[in-house]
Amino acid sequence: MRLKISLLKEPKHQELVSCVGWTTAEELYSCSDDHQIVKWNLLTGETSQIVKLPDDIYPIDLHWFPKSLGIKKQTQAEIFVLTSSDGKFHLISKLGRVEKSVEAHSGAVLAGRWNYEGTALVTVGEDGQIKIWSKTGMLRSTLAHQGTPVYSVAWGPDSEKVLYTAGKQLIIKPLQPNAKILQWKAHDGIILKVDWNSVNDLILSAGEDCKYKVWDSYGRPLYSSQPHEHPITSVAWAPDGELFAVGSFHTLRLCDKTGWSYALEKPNTGSIFNIAWSVDGTQIAGACGNGHVVFAHVVEQRWEWKNFQVTLTKRRTMQVRNVLNDAVDLLEFRDRVIKASLNYAHLVVSTSLQCYVFSTKNWNTPLIFDLKEGTVSLILQAERHFLLVDGGGIYLYSYEGRFLSSPKFPGMRTDILNAQTVSLSNDTIAIKDKADEKIIFLFEASTGKPMGDGKFLSHKNEVLEIALDQKGLTNDRKIAFIDKNRDLYITSVKRFGKEEQIIKLGTMVHTLAWSDTCNILCGLQDTRFTVWYYPNTVYVDRDILPKTLYERDASEFSKNPHIVSFVGNQVTIRRADGSLVHISISPYPAILHEYVSSSKWEDAVRLCRFVKEQTMWACLAAMAVANQDMTTAEIAYAAIGEIDKVQYINSIKNLPSKESKMAHILMFSGNIQEAEIVLLQAGLVYQAIQININLYNWERALELAVKYKTHVDTVLAYRQKFLETFGKQETNKRYLQYAEGLQIDWEKIKAKIEMEITKERERSSGSQPTKSTGLKH
């Protein structure tokens, strides 16, 4: 990725340019110390003077009023705030009329910023005051007052906090009075510029110590650059939070959100005092010290999938290369390319007005449809369909270009969604809520309606990243997520009444990805790269989960690596310095998944015997129990030396009725309640009581016996025997109550039990096999 710079031969301004701001993706306003406000039209290349300000007004900062969120047609910004050296800020219309001038600070007003909703304005000045104003320019509050000038300010993503500079310190102050203030030393020189991104919640700072730094919202350092030759005078996040730009003397740099640099340009600009990204995130404008306005286009982005490599060579041209035969195709577009995604044998490209869908089998005839709104901020793909996110909503389309659904939820803000907070599979869309970060909304892909009984998924901590598995049946769909403590959890997506278990899979997990060909999960854990070959093991037999993992040392990836993709058995990881590392994992677990999904159990056993690996046998054991194939499970458990489980499976095989077998398989997986329900539904009350006795659930055993008025003496007899074994006296009031005056006759009880077993045998041999109750995990 690099920047394509365009700079006019002669500057349009006579003095230094102090600030720039985009109205649309093709129109920019610039303000200079020559008191002129100039409008630039990038389509025609024309510039025109909008207004000449009075001679005593030297502009310092400009910020356009934000476009209304969620409005279908893209409206242009109509008014902007201009801060100036005379202690005032001015609200100026698009045509250059000064609507209002407000006395704000003593000394220059150094920065002014609208919040995301456009309901408030924050200004900071040389007098060290931070003031909050209403939309119309009425003073609401003075947030803070300090002894040093405040050079830069930014709103937090929820517009509830303000970040500002104080010399070498950064301060985050909530708007609520008495709320805790966060303050830390960020640079060794005065901090000149800050920016806070609403999508990734990261903070940028630039200082006179010639460094730029990236922080999280708790003030923890994520990246610090090497010192440059000159102070860093400007920094700015791209709207989607994936990139940022850095400006200095004769220097413009494009960086990844983790800090490493994609490109460094050395245009003849003087110092770049202000950087603004266009609405669609494809280009940058810089306000230069020598009167120029520098424009830079982000080009040469690259997308890779299997043997295809797609590169954006120009604004409207892509090059596709097939590395197997070196065939090259050129794709031309009518408008400039904004976003693209290559996955599942399809390339989806959004331009400013249309969406193109190419198949990797045929690059010549794309499917084209018009977009509802220009600026697509995110494209996600699954095997059957893809998702577009823009300012107006979330839209799901098939690869044939058919509109499928548009999920909605209360308080939806599409401008802050990214690949970590939205996930797509063939039948499900998952979206993390921004208002309450403990909640994940689940929608059916085909209809856009909430999943199951409409309940959302709620976790005890804030969720950071979510990912849906890609293969298998809808009923078995799982979602994996990482929470604030960096713990990895997995849970079922289908939610009907019964509260689904959220089970912990691992700790200190920083990044995760599902394979696109089968349900294998990989993640980076602290110092290890871990692959969960069969994550569903946690639902079947948690004891053997460690045996189904593959682990290797991850120190080679340095700190803060990120998983880019997991295609087939190839995992691509981006290190903190930007380099890509490819890891190949064993292809056998994927083949095993394939055999099991098509019920080829003999082939699966044969494969495990050929590979001779414990992880394969452990995966097969869990898969067999999940699919209730106990013969295969017995072979697999024997191979990993789990003798007690082999004996238990043998005992299950000898059970007289199908319901009993089913119940004991459920018990094997720890689903005791479900096992009991199966037995009670089949009228096997004694067997339901017996499983509770075997598990020492004495309260429940007695409760069932009393409720169904049968085998109360059996329960009391087993209880008495249990207490005698441990030499204890009965203390339970209910047991004392029912045992009063009751003589226990073991001969009679044994005869009753024999009768129950005979009855069950006769019932199962005389009746047709009952249907499975579908209580599968």
The per-residue pLDDT for 77 is: 62
Query: Does the pLDDT value for residue 685 go beyond 60?
Result: yes
Mean pLDDT of 203-223: 94
Are the C-beta atoms of residues 390 and 371 closer than 8 Å to each other?
yes
% pLDDT > 90, the chain: 61
Instruction: Give the three-state DSSP class for 201.
Output: coil
The per-residue pLDDT for 104 is: 93
The per-residue pLDDT for 495 is: 65
Least confident range from 49-63, 210-224, 638-652: namely 638-652
Greater confidence (76 vs 70) lies with: 76
Q: For residue 776, what pLDDT band results from cuts at 50, 70 and 90?
A: very low
The per-residue pLDDT for 748 is: 81
What contacts 44, CB < 8 A, 6 or more positions away? Answer: none
Mean pLDDT of 257-270: 93
Mean pLDDT of 305-325: 93
Query: What would the DSSP string read from start to end of 155-186?
Result: E-TTSSEEEEEETTEEEEEESSTTPPPEEEE-
Q: How far apart are CA 262 and CA 77, in angstroms?
A: 31
Q: For residue 688, what pLDDT band results from cuts at 50, 70 and 90?
A: confident
What contacts 499, CB < 8 A, 6 or more positions away? Answer: none
Q: For residue 632, what pLDDT band results from cuts at 50, 70 and 90?
A: very high
The per-residue pLDDT for 671 is: 77
Segment 268-295, tens digit of pLDDT: 999 999 999 998 899 999 999 999 999 9
Least confident range from 73-82, 91-100, 632-641, 671-680: namely 73-82
Q: How far apart are CA 18 and CA 291, in angstroms?
A: 9
Q: How far apart are CA 648 and CA 384, in angstroms?
A: 42
The per-residue pLDDT for 691 is: 83
Mean pLDDT of 715-721: 84
> Of 359, 341, 339, which is closest to residue 303 (Cα–Cα)?
341
Mean pLDDT of 438-457: 87
% pLDDT > 70, the chain: 96
The per-residue pLDDT for 772 is: 38
Burial (CB < 10 A; 0-12, 13-18, 19+), residue 119, is exposed
Mean pLDDT of 176-205: 94
Least confident range from 175-184, 710-719, 739-748: namely 739-748
The per-residue pLDDT for 499 is: 64
Segment 94-121, tens digit of pLDDT: 988 899 999 999 999 999 999 988 899 9
The order of strands in the sheet holding 428-432 is 422-424, 428-432, 439-444, 457-458
Mean pLDDT of 166-170: 94
The per-residue pLDDT for 773 is: 37
Segment 466-478, tens digit of pLDDT: 999 999 888 889 9
The per-residue pLDDT for 651 is: 84
Q: For the whole model, what pTM was predicted?
A: 0.87
Domains of the chain: 7-298 (2.130.10.10), 655-755 (no CATH)
DSSP secondary structure code for residue 769 in this structure:
P
What contacts 24, CB < 8 A, 6 or more positions away? Answer: 74, 76, 279
